[in-house]
Amino acid sequence: MFFHATLSVKFKMSSGLKTFCLLIGLYKIRMSSNERISSSRCVEKIVLPSCAPGNQRYLFVHKWGPQNGDSAYIQASLHADEVPGLLVANHLIKMIQEIDSLGGITKQIIVVPFANPIGLSQSVFERHIGRYCLASSINFNRNWIDLTNRITSKVEALLSMDESSNVYEIRKLILSELGLLHSATMKEDDYLKCALLKYAAIADVALDLHCDSDAILHLYTLDKLWPKLSDLAIELQSRCQLISPVTGGNPFDEVCSGLWSNIAEKFPMYPIPIACQSVTVELRGESDVSAALHAHKFITYISYSVNPVVVRDC
Ligand SMILES: [Zn+2]
């Protein structure tokens, strides 16, 4: 391997905001809109609708590799008080950057280390509230947009017996429908979800990093993706896999994978795979996450299990 996992970070939740401020300090470097930092790295700055006059929040999307085609997507801290994912994502960024400098990124990798700037800023009487949006009272991991009806009403004429063509057409339709929905008049949390879905729902793999208060490492995913995703479970040494059909409430991973499953069920005469393998990864308890170790495992998984040509062996 050409990189080394050298730093193991352990912290307690009470220091979460302090840790976040430290990370923001690290991120002050080179963060202007759509700035190209290296040969393939691009940081896209997405402006969220202002929550009040004089206030504005931003989403930063880190991208490497070709800007179209297959992609692997990882977001962290959608539940913004689950901070360990931030650390994992930031280690991941450093590792990907190193691989990129060696010319090793051949397909697109997208990392959103601060997936929820709204939740990160919600501090009430010195208590960080990151799970629910204070403005809407909605759990940040619920009420994601389900595009099933919009896609199934328009897709049939585009389908054929060519599986890769079906994936291409459905992805195009997903982007077009999200484009129609995405509007600055949306509530800020809905706008955020729509912005993230534009990357995640068309990715080959979409990983959502969470963390429990006290837990072993475990995964949530769609039942139809098992045992295909057993490689990820093995790589992460996940000791419990919670697999089920769509459970309701529209959490992130179910919306991303469930959409493909729903379309395939509606049109069984055409070859339609679950082209977005989405997984919620619970990175164990909040005080026992090794950021560097997990970043290393995600890179290994993306490299060798999901799409062997995303990362070329340098
Ligand atoms: Zn969570």
pLDDT at 285: 81
Report how far residue 115's alpha carbon sits from residue 117's, in angstroms, rounded to the nearest whole number: 6
215 CA distance to ligand 1 middle (Å): 12
pLDDT at 308: 52
212 CA distance to ligand 1 middle (Å): 7
281 CA distance to ligand 1 middle (Å): 9
pLDDT tens track, the chain, 314 positions: 333 322 223 333 334 443 333 333 333 323 334 555 557 889 999 999 998 899 999 999 999 998 877 899 999 999 999 988 888 999 899 989 988 888 888 889 999 999 999 999 999 999 999 999 999 999 999 999 999 999 999 999 999 999 999 999 999 999 999 999 988 889 999 999 999 999 999 999 999 999 988 888 999 999 999 999 998 999 888 989 999 998 889 999 999 999 999 999 999 999 999 999 999 999 888 777 776 777 788 877 777 665 555 565 54
- Go through 55-92 and write b for each residue having 16 or more CB atoms within 10 A of its CB, e for each that does not: eebebbbbbbbeeeebbbbbbbbbbbbbbbbbbbbbbb
304 CA distance to ligand 1 middle (Å): 27
249 CA distance to ligand 1 middle (Å): 14
60 CA distance to ligand 1 middle (Å): 20
Amino acid identity for residue 291 in this structure: A
Report how far residue 116's alpha carbon sits from residue 103's, in angstroms, rounded to the nearest whole number: 30
Reported as type and span, the H/E element at residue 61 is strand 58-64
79 CA distance to ligand 1 middle (Å): 5
- Are the beta carbons of 288 and 10 closer than 8 angstroms? yes
Residues sharing a CB contact under 8 Å with residue 166, sequence separation 6 or more, in sequence order: 158, 159, 160, 270, 271, 272
pLDDT at 12: 34
- Are the beta carbons of 277 and 257 closer than 8 angstroms? yes
306 CA distance to ligand 1 middle (Å): 23
152 CA distance to ligand 1 middle (Å): 30
69 CA distance to ligand 1 middle (Å): 29
113 CA distance to ligand 1 middle (Å): 14
Residue 237 CB neighbour total at 10 angstroms: 11
- Are the beta carbons of 292 and 91 closer than 8 angstroms? yes
208 CA distance to ligand 1 middle (Å): 9
Q: How far is CA 109 from CA 95, 104, 208, 240, 274, in A?
A: 12, 11, 14, 27, 19
pLDDT at 13: 34
Domains of the chain: 13-306 (3.40.630.10)
216 CA distance to ligand 1 middle (Å): 14
pLDDT at 220: 95
110 CA distance to ligand 1 middle (Å): 20
CA dihedral 23, 282, 309, 175 (to 10 degrees): -80
